[in-house]
Amino acid sequence: MVRAIVGANWGDEGKGKLTDVLAKDSDIVIRFQGGANAGHTIINEYGKFALHLLPSGICNKGVENVIGPGVALDIEALLKELEEVHKRGVPEPILKVSSRAQILMNCHILLDTYEEERLSDRKFGSTKSGIAPFYSDKAAKVGVQVCHLRDKDMLRERLTASFVKKNVLMEHLYHKPLLDVDEYTEKYFALGQAIKHMVCDTNVLMHEAVKAGKSILLEGQLGALRDPDHGIFPYTTSSSPLAGYATIGAGVPPWAIQEVIAVTKAYSSSVGTGVFPTKMEGEEAEELRKRGGDAGEYGAKTGRPRDVGWFDAVATRYGCMVQGATQCAMTNLDVLAYMDEIKVCVGYEVGGQVSTRFPTTPTLKKVVPVYEVLPGWKEDISQVKRYVDLPENCRNYVEFIEKRIETPIKILSNGPRREEIIYR
């Protein structure tokens, strides 16, 4: 059974928690895109972790955790995270790294940082983790794969070719020190040696696992609306967070994915936003931000306060559609317990017309959300274990949304901890 766990919205939907929960009954958890530019929060018997590159199955004994070829691999960040997990008492994890994954290097982080500085108030809200320059290099075929780290001369050759243009930018556009090929060669050769024992052809591993009928989780990063083709371009990321891309970035046959679980929050949140129609302002926003997630709605990577807003059924229906979701998991349902009334955006008004279609970005910037108001349940639900035991207004809220997003909500998360989960 191959299942993809992906975001239906802007990211931070709680995919990490869900992956940690479902990893218990899985053989393999594989990351298929993105890098250390976002965080997946998991809370279990070993404590709380904000994982950036490590797959969220890392705390489950016996699970093989894999970094697939689609990932932007920052080796230093990976080693730091591994050390942290080790220090916190997690049993030695099984971690495999694709020999085809490409290396996110310090030069990518520098270019990302300098570009955001240059753009100033026109910036895209990058986390400055080097993601856009990294994927640009991959597309331009000047990237460095894990397999290139085996041979110093081969590595130097690739870096020499790649640094020619970069150094023109460093000198003339950013007015910064030049990149040094020898320094990078030594550093990344040594980092290659440090991960050598984890490197393998993960494509073979994955195809054999599929053939053997193993239980596999494909763990996405960010969410559908950040997809470069289908999302809110240009406020998107540089690799596809869609389940469709999981087959490429993880290396599994397209026909193998049986379930696509789109994760969504019971309200909306977004960091480094761009456009966000149901955004709350003022005290209302502050209250939800304070109560949301496990410790307030602040970015797991950057600590930036997340924008928060009402559930957006237009955006989420679209997110589920482009994900090809077979089901939804709704997280953070417990957070809404304090509200007397809860609004749900059911349409967008633009130019006097109401539509339930999610438009392209220029139109999205102009829409006015149309809300329906539902009664709150005003009750702590964090101890509830069965769907039938949820307050009626809470079930009505879930079922109201389910109809609007046209995707069955089969999993509900009623707290940040592993055991706070309800299956329907």
Q: Residue 303 in contact with residue 271, Cβ under 8 Å?
A: no
The answer to whether 182 is a known catalytic residue is no
If the CB atoms of residues 49 and 135 are measured against ligand GDP, the closer one turns out to be 49
Report, in Å, the least distance between residue 334 CB and ligand GDP: 5
Sign of CA dihedral 119, 124, 128, 129: negative
Q: How, if at all, do strands 28-31 and 409-413 pair? A: unpaired
Report, in Å, the least distance between residue 331 CB and ligand GDP: 4
Which of these, 139, 148, 138, 152, lies nearest to 181 by C-alpha position?
Answer: 152
If the CB atoms of residues 11 and 143 are measured against ligand GDP, the closer one turns out to be 11
Q: What is the DSSP string of 264-330?
A: EESSEEESS-S--TTB--HHHHHHHHHHSTTTSSB-TTT-PBPEEE-EEHHHHHHHHHHHT-SEEEE
The answer to whether 172 is a known catalytic residue is no
Report, in Å, the least distance between residue 332 CB and ligand GDP: 4
If the CB atoms of residues 179 and 381 are measured against ligand GDP, the closer one turns out to be 381
Question: What's the CA gap between 360 and 398, in Å, rounded?
Answer: 27
Q: Residue 109 in contact with residue 130, Cβ under 8 Å?
A: yes
If the CB atoms of residues 2 and 222 are measured against ligand GDP, the closer one turns out to be 222
Among 12, 20, 112, 312, the active-site one is 12
Question: What's the CA gap between 269 and 276, in Å, rounded?
Answer: 9
Any alpha helices (H) in 300-418, and if so which ranges? 313-323, 361-364, 392-405
Question: What's the CA gap between 303 and 306, in Å, rounded?
Answer: 9
Report, in Å, the least distance between residue 421 CB and ligand GDP: 8
Q: How, if at all, do strands 72-73 and 102-103 pair? A: parallel
Question: What's the CA gap between 32 and 241, in Å, rounded?
Answer: 8
If the CB atoms of residues 48 and 61 are measured against ligand GDP, the closer one turns out to be 48
If the CB atoms of residues 155 and 335 are measured against ligand GDP, the closer one turns out to be 335
Q: Residue 241 in contact with residue 33, Cβ under 8 Å?
A: yes
Cα angle for residues 343, 346, 351 (degrees, 5° grid)? 115
If the CB atoms of residues 156 and 265 are measured against ligand GDP, the closer one turns out to be 265
Query: What count of other Cβ atoms lies within 10 Å of the Cβ of residue 344?
Result: 21
Report, in Å, the least distance between residue 217 CB and ligand GDP: 13
Report, in Å, the least distance between residue 229 CB and ligand GDP: 21
Among 40, 108, 148, 230, the active-site one is 40
Report, in Å, the least distance between residue 220 CB and ligand GDP: 8
Q: How, if at all, do strands 64-67 and 28-31 pair? A: parallel
Report, in Å, the least distance between residue 278 CB and ligand GDP: 18
Which of these, 73, 41, 77, 72, lies nearest to 59 by C-alpha position?
Answer: 41
Which of these, 286, 357, 241, lies nearest to 9 by C-alpha position?
Answer: 241
13's tokens: 């939907």
Which residue ranges make up the site for ligand GDP (CB under 6 A)? 7, 11-17, 38-41, 293-294, 300, 331-332, 334-335, 413-416, 420
If the CB atoms of residues 188 and 397 are measured against ligand GDP, the closer one turns out to be 397
Looking at the annotation, which residues are catalytic?
12, 40
